[in-house]
Amino acid sequence: MEFNEAQKQAIRHIDGPCMVLAGPGSGKTSVITYRAKYLIEEAGIASDKLLIITFTRASAQEMKQRFLELMKGTETACTFGTFHSVFFHMLRTAYGYNSSQILMEEEKRAFLKDYIVRQGLEFDDEEEFIKDIMAEITLVKSEYMNLDYYYSTTCGEDVFRQIYKDYHAYLERENRLDFDDMLIYTYELLKERPDILASWQARYPYILIDEFQDINRIQYEVVKLLAGSRRNLFIVGDDDQSIYRFRGAKPEIMLGFPKDYPDTEIITLNVNYRSNREIVEGSLRLIERNQKRYAKPLVSAREYENPVYIHEYKTDKEENEGILKFIRMYRQQGIPYREMAVIFRTNTEPERLVRVLMEYNIPFRMRDRMPNLYDHFLARHMIAYANIASGSRKRSDYLVIWNRPKRYLRRDLLLEEEVELDRIRERVNDKAWAVKNLNQLAADIKRLQTMTPYAAIHYIRKKMGYDDYVREYAKERRLKEEELLDILDEIQALSEPYQTYQDWFAYIDEYGKQIEEQRARQKELGRTDDAITLTTMHSAKGLEYEVVFLMEANEGITPYKKAVKPEDIEEERRMFYVAVTRAKHYLHISYVKNRYNKTLEPSRFVYEIRHDRRQVKKKQIRVRNS
Q: Kindly report, residue by residue over 99-128, the tens digit of the pLDDT.
A: 999 999 999 999 999 988 888 777 788 888
Cα 402 to Cα 287: distance, rounded to the nearest angstrom:
49
Name the average pLDDT for the chain: 90
502-to-40, 380, 499 alpha-carbon distances in Å = 70, 16, 9
The pLDDT assigned to 619 comes to 39
Where is pLDDT greater, at 370 or 252?
A: 252
Average pLDDT of span 605-625 = 55
Whether residue 250 is predicted with pLDDT greater than 90 in this model: the reply is no
Binned at pLDDT 50, 70 and 90, residue 455 comes out as very high
Sign of CA dihedral 37, 38, 44, 45: negative
Where is pLDDT greater, at 18 or 114?
A: 18
Binned at pLDDT 50, 70 and 90, residue 476 comes out as confident
Cα 570 to Cα 559: distance, rounded to the nearest angstrom:
9
Q: 318 Cβ partners below 8 Å, 6+ apart?
A: 592
List, for residues 385-437, the tens digit of each pLDDT value.
999 999 999 999 999 999 999 999 988 898 889 989 988 988 888 889 999 99
Q: H/E element holding 595?
A: strand 594-595
List, for residues 552-598, the tens digit of each pLDDT value.
999 988 998 777 789 999 999 999 999 999 999 999 999 999 987 78
Q: Half-sphere exposure (CA, 13 Å, Cβ side) for 363?
A: 15
The pLDDT assigned to 248 comes to 81
Average pLDDT of span 610-624 = 43
Whether residue 625 is predicted with pLDDT greater than 90 in this model: the reply is no
Residue 522 CA from chain centroid, whole number = 19
Where is pLDDT greater, at 55 or 502?
A: 502
Cα 358 to Cα 222: distance, rounded to the nearest angstrom:
48
Average pLDDT of span 304-330 = 94
Amino acid letter, 133: I
262: cis peptide before it, omega within 30°?
no
484, 496 Cβ separation under 8 angstroms: no
pTM: 0.86
Average pLDDT of span 288-299 = 93
Long-range interactions of 55-62: CB distance < 8 A, separation 24+ = 55/82, 55/83, 55/210, 55/211, 55/214, 56/82, 57/82, 57/85, 59/210, 59/211, 59/542, 60/85, 62/29
Nearest to 466, CA basis, from 378, 375, 364? 378
497: cis peptide before it, omega within 30°?
no
Binned at pLDDT 50, 70 and 90, residue 362 comes out as very high
The sheet carrying 545-550 orders its strands as 308-313, 583-592, 545-550, 340-344, 532-536, 364-366
List, for residues 492-541, the tens digit of each pLDDT value.
999 999 999 999 999 999 999 988 888 888 777 776 789 999 999 999 99
Where is pLDDT greater, at 67 or 561?
A: 67
Compute how many other C-beta atoms are within 10 angstroms of the C-beta atom of residue 601: 12
Average pLDDT of span 359-375 = 86
429, 423 Cβ separation under 8 angstroms: no
